[in-house]
Amino acid sequence: MRRPNRTQLIALTGPSDDGDDYRRRTPHAETHPLKLLLIVNSSASSVTARSRVVIQKALSADHDVDVAETSRRGHAARLAKGAANSGVEVVVALGGDGTLNEAANGLVGTDTALAPLPGGSTNVFARTIGLPNDPIEATGALLDSLAADSIRPVGIGSVNGRCFLFHVGIGFDAAVVEQVERRGSLKRWAGHPLFVYSAFDTWLRHYDRSRPRFSVHLPDGSVVDDGYFAICLNTDPYTYFGNRPLHLAPRAQLDSGLSMVTVRTMRLLPVLKLGLSALGSSGGLASGRHATVHHDLTDLVVRGYGPIPYQVDGDHLGAVDELRIRHEPDALRLVLPLS
């Protein structure tokens, strides 16, 4: 079955008053119709009124689609949970990684599947599973996946009861995300430059680099007692800089346990070397003097030397004294691209 590209989808969703013309011309007309909820975060970086209309029409040609727009933080989780309770078969989340994370939290443990559509500035999870970064092209991939019933349960992580799809950032990483969110009005337009600026600003003014901030307690009883910041990963890469993936732990996959990268210094040169190594190689980081890497973890505990900031899939959640992190196998049904 041929995947429609952006031009084809726009052409197919021309100025028609009903969906009959589109239904006759779409290559997915033979698909068994499913009950879908399209959750839209209209404030996300890549979501426009035009793309929303195109996507809604494309999905509606073959499926029974309702649309709901988020209006506040946490709204996507409530919408997704309500959809699961009312018998919706697939929740399609059009937005950034934060919207996708909320939708996933509403669907964990249910029979309703999650289908990501990239609408944010980075779209880490959608790109990680192989979706195009353009939301219109990704819609074509989604239609192919639904036609082929490419849906299966995958593993996720949880931290203090909040589920995550790709990572939890602890310490300095979360402090950077906090500074980005304080400039949220710029995020739609500045994107990656805002993250770079916030990282340097946080380094200079907003994070205590004078001492270790937490200890990491691993399932085998070992302890890393001098953590400055850490990333716990359910998938790899950690993020993208433009089209360049940042690989910290390629062994982190949806069907494996969690990987934990703990950075044990905040000296500028070693941290830059770690970052360049992750950006320049697909092999990820290895345990050494300045960082430790552990794989296939079922659970771990992070204890702060005072409150430590943390973020989940790019959303800053505040500061706490302890984080309990677990791998939750087969907890979420996910629509996956055919490729």
Domain at 73, CATH number: 3.40.50.10330
Tokens of 150: 């490419």
pLDDT digits (tens, 9 = 90+) for 185-218: 555 555 667 778 888 888 888 899 999 999 999 9
Asked if 170 and 287 sit in the same domain, the reply is: yes
In angstroms, the first-to-last Cα distance of the chain is 12
pLDDT(16) > 80? no
* pLDDT at residue 2, as a whole number: 43
pLDDT(327) > 80? yes
Determine if the pTM surpasses 0.95.
Answer: no
* pLDDT at residue 20, as a whole number: 40
Asked if 173 and 319 sit in the same domain, the reply is: yes
The answer to whether residue 339 sits within a structural domain is no
Asked if 76 and 108 sit in the same domain, the reply is: yes
Total residues found in the chain within this entry: 339
Of 149, 175, 203, which residue sits at a domain end?
A: 149
Asked if 248 and 269 sit in the same domain, the reply is: yes
Tell which residue, 203, 196, 159, 158, has the closest CA to residue 180.
Answer: 196
The answer to whether residue 155 sits within a structural domain is no
Angle of CA points 291, 293, 295, to nearest 5°: 170
Asked if 205 and 251 sit in the same domain, the reply is: yes
Asked if 187 and 300 sit in the same domain, the reply is: yes
CA distance 161 to 323: 10
Asked if 168 and 55 sit in the same domain, the reply is: no
Tokens of 4: 């429609």
* pLDDT at residue 224, as a whole number: 98
Number of domains composing the chain? 2
Asked if 174 and 317 sit in the same domain, the reply is: yes
Asked if 204 and 126 sit in the same domain, the reply is: no
pLDDT digits (tens, 9 = 90+) for 305-320: 999 999 999 999 999 9
The answer to whether residue 73 sits within a structural domain is yes
CA distance 139 to 56: 9
Asked if 169 and 107 sit in the same domain, the reply is: no
Residue numbers of the domain that contains 73: 6-149
